[in-house]
Amino acid sequence: MGMNIRNSGIGIVGDIPWGTHICQFYQTTEDLEDIMVPYFKVGLENNEFCLWVTSQPLEVEEAREALRRAVPDIDVYLEKGQIKIISYTCWYVNGDISDSERVIDSWIEILNHALASGYEGLRLAENTFWLEKEDWRDFIDYEEKMDAIISKYRMIALCSYFLDMCSAREIIDVVSSHQSSLIRREGKWEWIDNFGRKKVGEAAFRAAEEAEVKLEEAHEKLEKAYNSLLENDIKFSEAQKIAHIGSWDWDLATDRFYGSDEFYRIFGCNYKQFYVSYDEVLNFIYPDDRGHVENAVKGALNGEPYDIDYRIILADGEERVVHAQGEIIFEKRNTPVRMRGTLQDITERKNTENALELSEERYLSFIQNFTGIAFQRNKDFNLEFMKGSVEEITGYGEEELMSKKQWRELIEEEDLPLFLEKEREVKNSPPPYCGKLSYRIRCKDGKIKWVHEVCQRIPGKKGKPDSYQGTISDVTERIKAKEALVKIENARKKEIHHRIKNNLQVISSLLDLQAEKFKDKEILEAFRESRNRVISMSLIHEELYRGEELDTLDFSAYLRKLAENLFQTYSLNNENIHLCMDLEENAYFNIDIAIPLGIIVNELVSNSLKHAFPNRNEGEIRIRLCREERNNRIHESLFSLTISDNGKGISENIELETLKSLGLQLVSTLVDQLDGKIELKRAQGAEFRITFKVTERS
């Protein structure tokens, strides 16, 4: 319909096509202004030639002032001649309307002149307040002729009637000679389509007209009948809106096409019902589908069913899919006179069907190319669906596995508890949680395979129980490759620890050889201390090389070896010194903690052996490692390492921070490195207590 659609300017009416013929019933001057002013304002803005034939109660000057309030530059439009406001006396000479052909020809002449001047068309309005009773029949004859031909022209006509001057019969005449009506009820304008209402209106008002005694009674009965028609129209329109089905009627003789509210709503138009030509409707149909529609219409004229789907292009350019059904109405001589039917927007249904079809294609493609198993389990976690590489992975067929064997029977006995635990976890976790687990199964031929399962709970709908969906993949080769890589990595790490241990032992030997060249006791002592520090680190790498773990070592076992080595080093001069050890079992520390602690123990035990017992009396050195606290949530423990002796002790005047011994300065630095704390107690000898935190294996 394109440029044929015009903005009426009247909110309740919306968009209308050229060739629209409207009547308005008013009671006050405000009623007239409420419709006429926005009607002409939009016409001026849309480059239409406007003609207002007016009379009481809104004369020419009053009409001009009413427009000026809404259109400040009305004088510009008046000066260039785009709008003319004239009195009915200038148009209907002496109120003569008997020559209706002359009046209509005048409208057409004005239209042609407007088009030649570059305007889009003619927008006109008439007020019939001047009309006398004796001229009524002639005027209605003029309106009926106007209504019959207006659809052929780029013209919109709005005729106003003073409601209090109209009888019931006259209201029927007005409604019957116009396409639609505007009437104000309870302060609100209502827009009524008059299609097919003439006979219904006559039947509804005949009894009122015959029984009319007073004008007021006729108005009351008219209002009731009119309301009934309006109510039926609203109910019918609402029913179509709810069902998303519009109705249509095509007069084959006149090529007039009528659509209901929902029909035009489907096409994306916001105007009310009106007549258009079939070709204008055809413009909305997707170009590639027009031939299909025309062939279906031809088939219907030959007696074939009219039941088709086709695409349409809405006014805003959106593409939709509709389903149309129709029938041909024949007259007595079997001549087709009308075609009527329904139209339904089925875009969503088509999209759903296409999506389902695409989904099915993708599903089949996925299953055909999927190298794993897709499954569904019921609420008891028993298989009820399996697709994919079932036989390739398990050796069992799909039906055989579901009907004769429960999946749990395939799982290796050692891995079954993990599977059952993961099953409970999936059941108790809300979606979209996915349970993931790798475990071993025994295939039909007895071979063991590793599989990886991903499973998710799917909530049941409409009271149905939950189900479980997921996939199972064969990861045997991946697990084997991973195990091989782990073995290679472990061997590599052990070799590194072995080489570091050997290198540190070489350094220790070199320090021994170098020390033999010196006679000075202080120098010899310095070499001995350096050698012991190297040995403390060497022992750690030896433990890591020999142990099962590559990154952590049993620190208690390491301490025993370290202490024994220190006592062997100083055994010649300290035969009466004894070692007491109280060590926490299963204290596994990583290398970053073990090396600083080892050096700390080396320094403090060496210090006791050298300085605590100057008279070589009997004495005791104690080493205690204890787990003080454990936080299982973050897998962290607080440890204390205590090294003490019952020797001569350290003077009260000497603070730990002021000791100038290189070894004790090293101890203080290493404690800081561990983010630990060190305390010195002097009762009955010397006691160093170091506290530190360790992150342990979960």
pLDDT tens digit string along 306-343? 898 999 888 778 888 989 888 888 876 778 888 888 88
Position 205 pLDDT exceeds 60: no
Q: Cα–chain-centroid distance for residue 618? A: 81
Return the HEC string of 290-339: HHHHHHHHHHHHCCCCEEEEEEEECCCCCEEEEEEEEEEEECCCCCEEEE
416-to-62, 413, 420, 435, 468 alpha-carbon distances in Å:
96, 5, 6, 15, 18
- Answer with the residue of higher pLDDT: 276 or 425: 425
Q: What is the mean pLDDT of residues 127-145?
A: 86
The neighbour count for residue 658, using CB atoms within 10 Å, is: 7
Instruction: Determine which of 110-114, 228-232, 240-244, 260-264 has the lowest per-residue pLDDT on average.
Output: 228-232
Same domain membership, residue 636 and residue 502 = no
pLDDT confidence band for 17 (50 / 70 / 90): very high
Q: Residue 557 domain-assigned?
A: no
Taking the C-alpha atoms of residue 544 and residue 663, their distance in angstroms, rounded to an integer, is 26
| Segment 19-78, tens digit of pLDDT | 999 999 998 889 999 999 999 999 999 999 999 999 888 888 999 999 999 998 999 999
Please give the structure tokens belonging to residue 325: 């059904």
Beta bridge partners of 376: 385, 469
- At residue 524, the pLDDT reads 60
Taking the C-alpha atoms of residue 685 and residue 648, their distance in angstroms, rounded to an integer, is 5
Residue 296's domain is classified under what CATH number? 3.30.450.20
| Segment 460-482, tens digit of pLDDT | 887 788 888 889 988 888 888 78
- Answer with the residue of higher pLDDT: 375 or 368: 375
Taking the C-alpha atoms of residue 245 and residue 242, their distance in angstroms, rounded to an integer, is 8
Please give the structure tokens belonging to residue 283: 């413009």
- Answer with the residue of higher pLDDT: 663 or 601: 601
pLDDT confidence band for 208 (50 / 70 / 90): very low
- Tell me how far apart the terminal alpha carbons of the chain are, to the nearest angstrom: 76
Taking the C-alpha atoms of residue 294 and residue 300, their distance in angstroms, rounded to an integer, is 10
Q: Residue 227 domain-assigned?
A: no
- At residue 154, the pLDDT reads 93
- At residue 196, the pLDDT reads 44
| Segment 420-458, tens digit of pLDDT | 898 889 888 888 788 899 999 999 899 999 999 999 888
- Answer with the residue of higher pLDDT: 225 or 133: 133
**Of 415, 447, 474, which residue is a domain's last?**
474
Q: Residue 130 domain-assigned?
A: yes
Position 200 pLDDT exceeds 80: no
Residue 644's domain is classified under what CATH number? 3.30.565.10
Taking the C-alpha atoms of residue 650 and residue 180, their distance in angstroms, rounded to an integer, is 115
- At residue 355, the pLDDT reads 73
- Residue 206 is which amino acid? R
Q: Residue 123 domain-assigned?
A: yes
Same domain membership, residue 572 and residue 692 = yes
Q: What is the mean pLDDT of residues 640-667?
A: 77
Position 581 pLDDT exceeds 70: yes
Same domain membership, residue 483 and residue 470 = no
Residue span of the structural domain in which 691 resides? 564-698
Taking the C-alpha atoms of residue 196 and residue 432, their distance in angstroms, rounded to an integer, is 59
Position 134 pLDDT exceeds 80: yes
pTM over 0.75: no
- At residue 2, the pLDDT reads 42
- Answer with the residue of higher pLDDT: 150 or 487: 150
Mean pLDDT, the chain, rounded, equals 79
**Of 151, 168, 195, which residue is a domain's last?**
195
Sign of CA dihedral 399, 401, 403, 407: negative
- At residue 548, the pLDDT reads 60
Please give the structure tokens belonging to residue 158: 């709005």
Tally of domains within the chain: 5
Instruction: Determine which of 37-51, 444-458, 493-507, 513-527 has the lowest per-residue pLDDT on average.
Output: 493-507
Position 218 pLDDT exceeds 60: no
Q: What is the mean pLDDT of residues 624-651?
A: 88
Same domain membership, residue 100 and residue 55 = yes
Please state, for a pLDDT cut of 70, what percent of the chain lies above it: 75
Taking the C-alpha atoms of residue 134 and residue 566, their distance in angstroms, rounded to an integer, is 138
Residue 122's domain is classified under what CATH number? 3.40.50.300
Q: What is the mean pLDDT of residues 280-287?
A: 83
Taking the C-alpha atoms of residue 309 and residue 283, their distance in angstroms, rounded to an integer, is 16
Position 283 pLDDT exceeds 60: yes
**Of 407, 440, 474, which residue is a domain's last?**
474
Give the helix/strand (H/E) hosting 421.
helix 416-428
Please state, for a pLDDT cut of 90, what percent of the chain lies above it: 21
Same domain membership, residue 517 and residue 578 = no
Please give the structure tokens belonging to residue 403: 């009907």
Same domain membership, residue 491 and residue 457 = no
95-to-56, 117, 134, 161 alpha-carbon distances in Å:
14, 30, 11, 16
Taking the C-alpha atoms of residue 183 and residue 191, their distance in angstroms, rounded to an integer, is 7
Same domain membership, residue 599 and residue 470 = no
Same domain membership, residue 14 and residue 112 = yes
Find the Cα–Cα–Cα–Cα dihedral 491, 493, 497, 499, rounded to 10°: 70
Question: Where is mean pLDDT largest: 40-54, 539-553, 554-568?
Answer: 40-54
Same domain membership, residue 483 and residue 345 = no
Same domain membership, residue 190 and residue 62 = yes
Q: Residue 203 domain-assigned?
A: no
Q: Residue 56 domain-assigned?
A: yes
Taking the C-alpha atoms of residue 419 and residue 380, their distance in angstroms, rounded to an integer, is 14
193-to-238, 240, 249, 266, 603 alpha-carbon distances in Å:
15, 16, 14, 18, 107
Same domain membership, residue 512 and residue 651 = no
pLDDT confidence band for 682 (50 / 70 / 90): confident
Burial grade of 453 (CB within 10 A; 0-12, 13-18, 19 or more): buried
Q: Residue 205 domain-assigned?
A: no
Find the Cα–Cα–Cα–Cα dihedral 237, 239, 243, 249, rounded to 10°: -50
- At residue 566, the pLDDT reads 78
Taking the C-alpha atoms of residue 372 and residue 390, their distance in angstroms, rounded to an integer, is 7
DSSP 153: S
Do 680 and 687 form a contact (C-beta atoms < 8 A)?
A: yes
Q: How many helices (H) and strands (E) does the chain have?
A: 21, 27
- At residue 234, the pLDDT reads 58
Q: Residue 416 domain-assigned?
A: yes
Instruction: Determine which of 373-387, 405-419, 525-539 has the lowest per-residue pLDDT on average.
Output: 525-539
Please give the structure tokens belonging to residue 644: 């003490």
- At residue 156, the pLDDT reads 93
Same domain membership, residue 690 and residue 582 = yes
